[in-house]
Amino acid sequence: MEHQHLHAAPGMNHAGHDHHSMMIMDFRKRFYVVFVLTIPIMLLSTMIQHFMGVNWQFAGSQYILFALSSVVFFYGGWPFLKGLADEVKLKTPGMMFLIGFAITVAYIYSVAIVFGLEGMDFFWELATLILIMLLGHWIEMKSVAGASKELELLVQLMPAEAHMVMPDMVHDVKTDTLKENDIILVKPGEKVAADGIISEGESYLNESMLTGESKPVQKVKGDKVIAGAINGNGSIKVTVSHAAKDSYLSQVIKLVDDAQKSKSKTQLLADTAAKWLTIIALISGIATFLYWYLTGQSLAFAMERMVTVIVICCPHALGLAVPLVVAKSTALSAKNGLLIKNRTAFENARKITTIVFDKTGTLTVGRFEVSKVVSLQKDISENEIIRLASALEQKSEHPIATGILQKAKDLSISPPATESFNAITGKGVEATVEGKKILVVSPGYLKENNIPIPEGYTVNDIETVVFIIINKQLAGYIALSDEIRPESAEAVKTLQQHNIKSILLTGDNNKVAKSVSETLGLDSFIAEVLPHQKLEKIKELQNKGEFVAMTGDGVNDAPALAIADVGIAVGSGSDIAAETAGIVLVNSNPRDIVSLILFGKATYRKMIQNLAWATGYNVVALPLAAGVLYKQGILLSPAAGAVLMTVSTIVVAVNASLLKVK
């Protein structure tokens, strides 16, 4: 298939992109030259003169015809002849092989006529054929360029220059020279030139092109900003956190690009179909030729049928059917905060029957706030419990830890230092603080170690509790709770309308899980699961014949994400390379999961429509070209064949560009 140009990363390396537009220009130029030459060729052809009822023959007119047609053949047909040679070299006869073969046959035969073979030449057919092929390729390349345009738009989000803040002045520098810890100034209305942290100023930033979040987000000192986001009305200074090539946007562009290059089952199906179509074209072309020639038709007639069959059969539309949809869908998804790393995972989204929401963080906001602190020992104040707990949690990224540290900060308590810190997998943490051995653990730990749960211990369903143990004495507990995301219920409802079950899989206690599950109307929940058990639970669902999508946060759910049929990493906006997931959702918004599935379905529909059109058209057009209805007076000329082929390709391209994210 000669669609290598589709897989060349558009815009990433400007060379690749310029190469593409140069090819478009090249086809355009050849088209115009051939167009000008086709007019005298038509006028000099005996058949056209016959048609017009004139006789403009003069001595040597066929030599002029031969000369003009040779220019058309070698200059206009050059891209196809070159393509033919390349395909023969690679032993992959395809598109170019067929066109090249068809025009060569037509040319050689016509030249033979000029130099004495009996019959009618086909120069005008040859010229119109090449003309239409050039036009078709030119239009098709423009539509391919259109499908990759979304990626270009992502590339253009990166401003070329940044205002770098120097001790004495602000200096404009090229964005790609920025390094970690440089400070840049972003004026109102400008695009942020690099990922970083705001060091002064505050503003509202529009990140919609990167995350799909339409509302501008307020950012203050200490907040992260993403390169490519558009600054609102405040002026901000940003400390750059890494060089441009590592920025979130560059990662997205690279991801989109890789995804467009990666092949899925549908793509491989289309490639196989195109390969077969090429073989069928050659066989039917030769068979058609032999049939007509041996049943007494003229050599010219048999040749013409063969050329038409081969041209009509060009698996153009087939070759484009999938790549165009791929280019469009990958880039569109990236704009909407869905990053597709693996095409197959994305195309499989339409088969999902069960979605496992890994932690409450997707369905809930994922920010735990301390809702109560209870001391169980007279000589220990509640603030002391927070102070000691915060000491152990300062190393952790866990939402509960963040909640406790936030509380300490609100009470302006500074966490003391810890020694011999140790994490107890899935159960909590332990360390020595100021000479005391302290544990911050889950209720499960108390159960396992037969520590009685204290009297008067009450928490409501949606609270998560950690206990503080000082020198083996239960000292108190902290309850935290997490609020449910407003979009969750609606997302779950939509999934149910599409017959997709939602299951909550969480390390949280049963009560929290039950409460979240009931509030949202989930199909079921599995609680108190340790990380390594998640994998087992997913396998169990798969063994029941479910097609499982797992949403997790990419880093600690790697094994489970890898084993799920579709792994969706959520909320790892900055850590885009969420290792094992096939799809990354920038916003951890459950609504995005719904859009992902619906968009996956829409994309697949488009591919199938395109493949059906491309093959169906051949089923109808091929017999007509071969002359099945010759007796009924229906016969397609090579030029008509070329027109049909071009139209079918354009239908496929237009259909691909109609793809939308709901």
Q: Can you tell me which residue has the tokens 């899925």?
A: 264
Please give the Cα distance from 199 to 182 (Å, whole number). Answer: 11
Catalogue the E-assigned strands of 352-445.
Answer: 354-357, 369-375, 419-424, 428-433, 436-441
For the beta carbon of residue 246, count every other beta carbon within 10 angstroms. 13
Nearest Cα neighbor of 178 from 188, 163, 189 is 163
Residue burial 64-78, b: 16+ Cβ < 10 Å; e: rest:
ebbebbeebbeebbe
Find the helix or strand (DSSP H, E) in which 583 lies. strand 583-585
Q: What's the chain's length in residues?
A: 662
Beta bridge partners of residue 551, listed in sequence order:
357, 568
| DSSP string covering 309-370 | HHHHT-THHHHHHHHHHHHHHHHHHHHTTEEES-HHHHHHGGG--EEEE-SHHHHB----EE
Q: Catalytic one among 182, 358, 553, 592?
A: 358
Please give the Cα distance from 278 to 84 (Å, whole number). Answer: 13
Nearest Cα neighbor of 44 from 33, 57, 28 is 57
Nearest Cα neighbor of 100 from 70, 130, 127 is 130
Q: Residue 608 burial by CB count (10 A; 0-12/13-18/19+): exposed, middle or buried?
A: middle
Beta bridge partners of residue 465, listed in sequence order:
479
Which residue pairs from 164-173 have beta carbons closer than 8 angstroms and sit at least 24 positions apart in sequence? 165/237
Give Cβ neighbours of residue 631 (< 8 Å, ≥ 6 apart).
none
Strand order in the sheet with 203-206: 217-219, 203-206, 230-231
Give Cβ neighbours of residue 84 (< 8 Å, ≥ 6 apart).
96, 97, 99, 100, 101, 104
The dihedrals phi and psi of 338, each to the nearest 5 degrees, come to -115, 115
Residue burial 311-331, b: 16+ Cβ < 10 Å; e: rest:
bbbbbbbbbbbbbbbbbbbbb
Instruction: Tabulate helix, strand, coil % of the chain (nearest 5).
Output: 55, 15, 30
Question: Angle at the Cα of 137 (from 271 to 46), degrees rounded to 5?
Answer: 120
| DSSP string covering 129-149 | HHHHHHHHHHHHHHHHHHHTH
For the beta carbon of residue 473, count every other beta carbon within 10 angstroms. 12
Please give the Cα distance from 343 to 118 (Å, whole number). Answer: 56
Half-sphere exposure of 100 (CA within 13 A, CB side): 18
Show the tokens assigned to 233.
């009305």
358 catalytically annotated:
yes
Strand 548-552 with 463-470, pairing: unpaired
Residues involved in catalysis: 358
